[in-house]
């Protein structure tokens, strides 16, 4: 994409959606506590106090990943690592070629919302939810959850992050991840773990299941993640093409094998 197009899509349009979310959320919240249909066409249980929820409802994240998921034309499995309230798991379930969704969301309150959203939209029979985080060790750790923005929950220990509380979650590493991804179909993986992307990718690379991963859509924030380190890990696992979506210090990348 050209720089002008990127500026329009990821600068002007995204900012406008954020402003719209801030302005209209109080109005919509006052209408009741029934399910809310998002800009992506999926239903979600109301959670208006949460910025992540508002971004889901007003389409602030744009259509890059949603278009990729809906555009898959061959049977596949979607693996949602850092699922939060489940937006992309719900979108993937709209594609009949998506035979299974495997979602990882370790924060108990957020996981409960994920489960409720899956129940609202159908497709629960092909969705497997794990209240687990993928890390380089097995055990219990405390995750930082920012008040009012569940999408920033992180194990990465970002400097200067405040305004949240600690929640104990369960972590698993590659040997325990592998059986959870067992199967034969190709996999499309989304990773959004707020700075721990390289750790998750390193663990995924140790599994037998990685051979079935055809694409990984992951978040990069240059303030606490190294794009070069992540790309090096992926190239070592056979990924050769990297398409950038976004601009500035915070963007997404689609890694594919060919």
> Where do the domains of the chain lie?
3-256
- Residues sharing a CB contact under 8 Å with residue 19, sequence separation 6 or more, in sequence order: none
What percent of the chain has pLDDT above 70?
88
Instruction: Look at residue 56 in the predicted model and tell me its pLDDT.
Output: 96
Looking at 3.40.1280.10, 3.40.50.2000, 3.40.50.300, 3.40.50.150, the CATH number of the domain 3-256 comes to 3.40.50.150
The 3-state DSSP class for residue 6 equals helix
Q: Which DSSP category does 125 fall into?
A: G
* Phi (first) and psi of residue 78, to 5 degrees: -100, 125
* DSSP E strands, 83-125: 98-104
- Structure-block tokens of residue 10: 């990821």
- Per-residue model confidence as pLDDT tens digits over 107-165: 999 999 999 999 999 889 999 999 999 999 999 999 988 878 888 888 775 444 444 56
Model confidence pTM above 0.75: yes
- Residues sharing a CB contact under 8 Å with residue 91, sequence separation 6 or more, in sequence order: 40, 41, 42, 65, 66, 69, 70
Average pLDDT across the chain, whole number? 90
* Pair 176, 133: CB distance under 8 Å: no
* Phi (first) and psi of residue 250, to 5 degrees: -125, 115
Instruction: Look at residue 159 in the predicted model and tell me its pLDDT.
Output: 43
C-alpha to C-alpha distance for 26 and 31, rounded to whole angstroms: 9
| Residue with the two structure tokens 């240059």 | 222
- Structure-block tokens of residue 38: 């998002």
Q: Which DSSP category does 7 fall into?
A: I
- Per-residue model confidence as pLDDT tens digits over 195-232: 899 999 999 999 999 999 999 999 999 888 899 999 99
- Structure-block tokens of residue 149: 């923005």
Q: Is the pLDDT of residue 48 over 80?
A: yes
* DSSP E strands, the chain: 36-37, 43-44, 76-81, 98-104, 127-130, 133-134, 139-146, 164-172, 187-191, 213-221, 241-247, 250-256
- Please write down the long-range contacts of 93-100, taking CB distance under 8 Å and 24 or more positions apart: 93/118, 93/121, 93/122, 93/123, 93/126, 93/127, 94/41, 94/42, 94/70, 95/69, 95/70, 97/72, 97/73, 98/69, 98/72, 98/126, 99/75, 99/126, 99/185, 100/126, 100/127, 100/128, 100/183, 100/185
CA neighbours within 13 Å on the CB side: how many for 134? 34
What does the pLDDT average to over 175-181? Answer: 98
**In 10 A of CB 160, how many CB atoms?**
5
Instruction: Look at residue 158 in the predicted model and tell me its pLDDT.
Output: 46
C-alpha to C-alpha distance for 61 and 5, rounded to whole angstroms: 16
What does the pLDDT average to over 16-37? Answer: 74
């Amino acid at each position: 994409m050209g720089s002008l197009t990127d500026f329009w899509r990821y600068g002007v349009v995204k900012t406008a959606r954020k402003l719209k979310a801030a302005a209209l959320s109080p109005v919509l919240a006052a209408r009741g506590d029934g399910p809310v249909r998002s800009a992506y066409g999926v239903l979600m249980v109301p959670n208006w106090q949460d910025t992540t929820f508002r971004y889901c409802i007003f389409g602030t994240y744009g259509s890059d990943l949603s278009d990729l998921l809906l555009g898959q034309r061959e049977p596949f499995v979607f693996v949602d690592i850092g699922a939060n309230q489940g937006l992309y798991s719900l979108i993937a379930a709209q594609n009949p070629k998506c035979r299974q969704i495997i979602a990882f969301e370790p924060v108990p309150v957020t996981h409960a919302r994920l489960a409720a959203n899956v129940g609202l939209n159908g497709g629960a029979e092909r969705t497997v939810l794990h209240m687990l985080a993928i890390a380089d060790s097995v055990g219990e750790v405390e995750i930082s959850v920012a008040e009012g923005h569940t999408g920033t929950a992180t194990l990465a220990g970002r400097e200067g992050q405040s305004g949240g509380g600690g929640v104990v979650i369960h972590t698993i590493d590659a040997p325990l991840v592998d059986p959870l991804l067992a199967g034969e179909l190709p996999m499309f993986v989304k990773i959004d773990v707020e700075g721990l992307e390289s750790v998750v990718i390193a663990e995924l690379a140790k599994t037998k299941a990685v051979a079935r991963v055809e694409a990984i859509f992951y978040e990069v924030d240059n303030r606490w993640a190294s794009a070069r380190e992540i790309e090096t890990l992926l190239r070592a696992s056979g990924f050769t093409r990297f398409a950038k979506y976004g601009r500035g210090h915070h963007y997404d990348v689609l890694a594919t094998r060919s």
